[in-house]
Amino acid sequence: MIDINLIRTNPELVKENIRKKFQDIKIEYVDRVLILDEKIRNLKKEGDSLRASRNSLSSQIGIFMKDKKIEEANKIKEQVVANNKRIEEIEIEENKFSGELKNLMMSIPNIIAVDVPIGKDDSENVQRLTVGEAKIPDFDIPYHTDILESLNGLDLDSARRTSGNGFYYLVGDVARLHSSILSYARDFMINKGFTYCIPPFMIRSDVVNGVMSFEEMENMMYKIEGEDLYLIGTSEHSMIGRFKDTILKEEDLPLCLTSYSPCFRKEVGAHGIEERGIYRVHQFEKQEMIVICKPEDSMEWYNKMWQISSEFFSTLNIPHEVMECCSGDLADLKVKSCDLNAWSPRQKRYFGELGSCSNLSDAQARRLGIKFKSKDGTKFAHTLNNTVVAPPRMLIAFLENNLNADGSVNIPEVLRSYMGGKSIIYPKK
Residues in CB range of 290: below 8 A, 6 or more apart: 236, 239, 240, 255, 256, 257, 258, 259, 383, 384, 385
**Which of 400, 408, 410, 347 shows the shortest CA–CA distance to 150?**
408
Same-domain pairing of 57 and 194: no
Mean pLDDT score of the chain: 92
Q: Name the pLDDT band for 43 (thresholds 50, 70, 90).
A: very high
Same-domain pairing of 160 and 241: yes
Tell me, what's the pLDDT at 151?
A: 96
pLDDT > 70 fraction of the chain, expressed in percent and rounded: 97
Mean pLDDT of 264-285: 75
Residue 330 inside a domain? The answer is yes
Mean pLDDT of 41-58: 87
Instruction: Say yes or no to pLDDT of 82 above 80.
Output: yes
Same-domain pairing of 311 and 389: yes
Give the Cα separation of 386 and 60 in Å (integer).
63
Helix axes 11-20, 27-66, angle to 10 degrees: 140
Answer with the residue of higher pLDDT: 168 or 61.
168
Mean pLDDT of 252-260: 98
Tell me, what's the pLDDT at 340?
A: 96
- Give the CATH number for residue 94: 1.10.287.40
What is the tally of structural domains in the chain? Answer: 2
Residue 367 inside a domain? The answer is yes
Same-domain pairing of 55 and 192: no
Give the Cα separation of 335 and 337 in Å (integer).
7
Same-domain pairing of 361 and 287: yes
Instruction: Say yes or no to pLDDT of 71 above 70.
Output: yes
Residues in CB range of 107: below 8 A, 6 or more apart: 26, 29, 213, 214, 332
Tell me, what's the pLDDT at 269?
A: 54
Answer with the residue of higher pLDDT: 66 or 372.
372
Residue 116 inside a domain? The answer is no
Same-domain pairing of 82 and 202: no
Same-domain pairing of 263 and 165: yes
Q: Name the pLDDT band for 275 (thresholds 50, 70, 90).
A: low
Mean pLDDT of 87-102: 94
Same-domain pairing of 212 and 301: yes
Tell me, what's the pLDDT at 69?
A: 77
Asked which of 80, 107, 134 is the last residue of a domain, the reply is: 107
Mean pLDDT of 36-56: 90
Q: Name the pLDDT band for 271 (thresholds 50, 70, 90).
A: low
Instruction: Say yes or no to pLDDT of 363 above 90.
Output: yes
**Which of 143, 175, 177, 170 shows the shortest CA–CA distance to 156?**
170
Q: Name the pLDDT band for 58 (thresholds 50, 70, 90).
A: confident
Same-domain pairing of 102 and 144: no
Residue 376 inside a domain? The answer is yes
Residue 115 inside a domain? The answer is no
Residue 117 inside a domain? The answer is no
Q: Are 392 and 286 in contact (CB under 8 A)?
A: no
Tell me, what's the pLDDT at 399?
A: 96
Same-domain pairing of 69 and 146: no
Residue 198 inside a domain? The answer is yes
The domain of 47 spans 4-107
Same-domain pairing of 284 and 405: yes
Mean pLDDT of 114-142: 95
Instruction: Say yes or no to pLDDT of 76 above 90.
Output: no
- Give the CATH number for residue 222: 3.30.930.10
Tell me, what's the pLDDT at 57?
A: 78
Whole-prediction pTM value?
0.89
Answer with the residue of higher pLDDT: 7 or 220.
7
Q: Name the pLDDT band for 251 (thresholds 50, 70, 90).
A: very high
Q: Name the pLDDT band for 268 (thresholds 50, 70, 90).
A: low
Instruction: Say yes or no to pLDDT of 295 above 50.
Output: yes
Instruction: Say yes or no to pLDDT of 410 above 90.
Output: yes
Same-domain pairing of 132 and 91: no
Q: Name the pLDDT band for 270 (thresholds 50, 70, 90).
A: very low
Asked which of 65, 84, 107 is the last residue of a domain, the reply is: 107
Mean pLDDT of 289-318: 97
Looking only at the bridges linking them, the beta strands covering 230-231 and 222-223 are antiparallel
Mean pLDDT of 238-257: 97
Residue 60 inside a domain? The answer is yes
Q: Name the pLDDT band for 305 (thresholds 50, 70, 90).
A: very high
Asked which of 107, 141, 166 is the last residue of a domain, the reply is: 107
Tell me, what's the pLDDT at 75?
A: 81
Mean pLDDT of 44-64: 81
